[in-house]
Structure 1
Amino acid sequence: MTSGRVFLCSFGFDEKFVLRCLVRYGFSVGDIVKLITSDPPDSRVLDAYRRVEELARRLGGSSELLAVDYRDLDRAISVIIGIVGGLRGNEVIVNLSGGMRILICLILIALMLAETKSKIKIEIETEDLKSLVDIPQKILKLPKFRMGGAKLKIAEILVSRGELSVTELATAIGKDKSLMSRHIRDMEEVGLIHTERMGRTKIVKPTNILRALIES
């Protein structure tokens, strides 16, 4: 396992998104860029990889080209899960701007399913290079989140009433404040709610994602 940062990028025959990502974050000694491409990689992909490899080496880091067969979805996802799972302890920057769309989907699925404690930053740069969209890491935890019982009641009340204090929520569903605080922390960690302080009172508000889940 590398001691530096890991850059995990979807990759095709155009290296510009990867190069821009490496420069943007100051790729340096000890860092490694892992490029995920389709198997088998054609000559254009290999040419593009050589240019990435050259820059990575010049900056004191390293690179690796990893080819997965997207036609075998089960194996492709399991391979990428293995890659992500092996990154424990590293800061990971994921760039999903290049390569085939199916590869981007596979990497996102693997990130959602993989068990990792790494700090992960996920970004997608638009084709015109004018915008960079960040995907919050907490969104990755959402598919595994179980929203039943008290959490479901909290969700329904918040969507119905807009915002409440922790004390008001505890009263509304008949739970003590300490238990309510744990539920709120769990829901905030996956991006279903957000909280803010108003003096000594903590206010809880639903996110648009929670509204969509409850109202759908």
Structure 2
Amino acid sequence: MSNNRILIASFGFDLDFVLRRIARKNYSSVVLLSLKTNDSGERRVDKAFSTLKSFCLSAGVDCELERLSSKGLIRSVYSIMKEKMKNGKIELFLTGGPRILVVSTIFASLMLNEIESEDVTIAVEGEGFEENWEANLKSLKALLDLDEKDREILMLIAVLGRARLSQLAQSSRIPKTTVFRKLNEMSNNGLVCKSEGYYQLCPELDRLI
């Protein structure tokens, strides 16, 4: 896998979010996902893209706009990601653009396989306040794959901060052997870490939940 970093961003009329992102980080290329709307809306997108492209050119970064139809939106985004990830790691930046585009991009990313997911980061910035949310796609998919007992054990650890095996078994009323097995599985997936006999959320997950 190349060391290139590719920014794929949901894009609407406001270019400030993407502009700040490009200025802060080093990307080899930028792909803007835009949803086809009416003529007035597309003219506003074109105007924002023209300004952003000029900035990218001055920074030596390739920049392109992908206009997408609402029909087959998830498969279109999926195809773009599959093609672009051949050239490097992907960051999905989902602060701008229509909600339907943001949600469709998330669903499209969940269709990637486990190996591909390791090279995808999902990022969102606060709107009107300074806050960043970033997560590796593989970790997010591991969360979604948890069963009911996994989720109960994980959220017990999240609420308690850290806990011993016996404490988790007692609080959850799940057999100790089952809790131990599930903790090992979550540890292998990078969700739970063990230190000095205590289980706690791994740092990335701890920042998320």
TM-score (norm 1): 0.70
Letter of the 1:8 counterpart = I
Query: How far did 1:26 drift?
Result: 3.4
Cα offsets for 1:146-190 (capped at 9, x unmatched): 537xxx3x6556767963349x97xx4447x7x66742324x43x
Conserved 8 A contact 1:36-1:67:
yes
CA distance in 2, matches of 1:47, 1:158: 46
Identity across matched positions, percent: 20
Q: Which has the higher helix share?
A: 2
Equivalent runs, 1:187-202 vs 2, <5 Å: 188-189=189-190, 191=191, 194-198=192-196, 201=197
| Structure 1, gaps ≥5 residues long | 210-216
Q: State the partner residue of 1:185.
A: 187
CA RMSD of aligned residues (A): 3.5
Query: How far did 1:204 drift?
Result: 2.3
Letter of the 1:35 counterpart = L
CA distance in 2, matches of 1:160, 1:124: 26
Conserved 8 A contact 2:30-2:63:
yes
Q: Is the alpha carbon distance of 1:155 and 1:37 closer, same or farther for their aligned partners in structure 2, counting shifts above 3 Å?
A: closer
Letter of the 1:92 counterpart = I
CA distance in 2, matches of 1:159, 1:118: 24
Does the alignment pair 1:37 with 2:34?
yes
Q: State the partner residue of 1:98.
A: 96
CA distance in 1, matches of 2:50, 2:80: 21
CA distance in 2, matches of 1:158, 1:26: 35
User: Following TM superposition, where does structure 1 have runs of at least 4 consecutive aligned residues deviating by more than 4 angstroms?
Assistant: 154-162, 179-182
* 1:42 partner SS: helix
TM-score (norm 2): 0.72
| Structure 2, gaps ≥5 residues long | 170-174
Query: How far did 1:42 drift?
Result: 0.9
Equivalent runs, 1:169-184 vs 2, <5 Å: 172-174=175-177, 182-184=184-186
Query: How far did 1:44 drift?
Result: 0.9
| Matched residues, number | 187
Letter of the 2:4 counterpart = G
Cα offsets for 1:44-77 (capped at 9, x unmatched): 101111111111111112011111222x2xx100
Letter of the 1:96 counterpart = L
Letter of the 2:21 counterpart = C
* 2:199 partner SS: strand
